[in-house]
């Protein structure tokens, strides 16, 4: 079975737009974005939550009969007091109570959208990196299993959970039997790998995960390289970014691996206030929609 399809993570927030501000791309802007992606051969996108952004995107696809499928997930809030967070402060008990209510609303919305757009949404994800030890939005493996089971009972699409490859091989291992397929993230950039080693590192991590977890299909739902960074010991520009993406895509086609590249467009709202913050520069297109 050929599972390789040109796929990419999509979050269309432009200048002065962000999920925090609840200022979302318009339907016109989303149509512009999807038209660019389809023209360049993309067949699938990944959306991170059942927010207004996702609702508008699904409506645009349906109204315009666009030839593109959607993986839709949840951006769960933290349900665990994690004292080892990579940034920010550990949650308080009162936060967790509210977060669980918010997560239930997200779950209900995801089920509703998945059933409303069965011909567009082809995969459903129960969360994103919520079992990672650094994540302030941590959810226990036990609770994550419950979310997966509820989704599998209430939607027709295959259900997955998106998590870093390292954590799928460690903390998230008990979830292997719950999901229909694994969705892993591999980032040699964050491991400070030089570009000369980045591609091989990615392939070896994928193959090691496949060997360790042979019972399930494995999809890469995030892989990429930023074009700008204010971190030391990193090498970032358009040429390096291009070499990594093209090398990875060549391997994926040859080995029949499905990869959702991270990500479609640069997002100015992300990360710190520094313009060189790498979180702002992962796009295969810049914020003005120019192809890198």
The pLDDT assigned to 84 comes to 85
Nearest-CA neighbor of 154 among 118, 123, 112? 112
> What is the rounded CA–CA span in Å between residue 81 and residue 73?
23
Residues of the chain with pLDDT under 70: none
103 in Cβ contact with 126 (< 8 Å)? no
This prediction has a pTM of 0.96
DSSP 291: B
Provide the H-helix boundaries in 155-194: 165-168
- Per the DSSP assignment, residues forming a β-bridge with 45 are 8, 70
The pLDDT assigned to 89 comes to 84
Render pLDDT for 144-174 as a digit per residue (tens, 0 to 9): 999 999 999 999 999 999 999 999 999 999 9
Render pLDDT for 67-94 as a digit per residue (tens, 0 to 9): 999 999 999 999 999 888 888 888 988 9
* Domains of the chain, earliest start first: 7-280 (3.20.20.80)
Render pLDDT for 229-248 as a digit per residue (tens, 0 to 9): 998 877 899 999 999 999 99
**Sign of the torsion formed by the C-alpha atoms of 167, 168, 170 and 171:** positive
């Amino acid at each position: 079975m050929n599972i390789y399809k040109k796929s990419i993570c999509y979050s269309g927030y432009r200048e002065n737009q962000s999920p925090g501000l609840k200022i979302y791309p318009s339907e016109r802007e989303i149509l512009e974005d999807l038209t660019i992606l389809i023209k360049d051969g993309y067949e699938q996108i990944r959306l991170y939550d059942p927010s207004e952004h996702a609702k508008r995107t699904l409506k645009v696809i349906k109204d315009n009969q666009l030839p593109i499928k959607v993986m839709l997930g949840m951006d769960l809030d933290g349900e665990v007091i994690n004292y080892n967070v990579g940034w920010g402060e550990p949650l308080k008990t009162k936060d967790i109570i509210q977060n669980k209510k918010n997560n239930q609303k997200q779950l209900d919305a995801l089920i509703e959208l998945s059933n409303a757009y069965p011909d567009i949404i082809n995969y459903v994800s129960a969360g994103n990196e919520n079992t990672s030890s650094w994540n302030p939005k941590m959810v226990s493996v036990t609770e994550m299993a419950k979310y997966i089971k509820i989704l599998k009972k209430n939607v027709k699409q295959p259900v997955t959970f998106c998590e870093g490859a390292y954590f799928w091989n460690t903390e998230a291992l008990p979830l292997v039997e719950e999901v229909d397929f694994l969705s892993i993230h591999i980032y040699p950039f964050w491991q400070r790998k030089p570009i000369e080693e980045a591609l091989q590192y990615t392939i070896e991590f994928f193959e090691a995960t496949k060997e360790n977890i042979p019972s399930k299909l494995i999809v890469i739902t995030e892989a990429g390289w930023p074009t700008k960074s204010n971190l030391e010991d990193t090498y970032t520009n358009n040429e390096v970014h291009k070499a990594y993406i093209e090398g990875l895509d060549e391997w994926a086609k040859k080995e029949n691996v499905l990869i959702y590249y991270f990500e479609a467009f640069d997002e100015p709202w992300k990360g710190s206030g520094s313009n060189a913050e790498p979180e702002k520069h992962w796009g295969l297109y810049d914020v003005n929609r120019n192809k890198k």
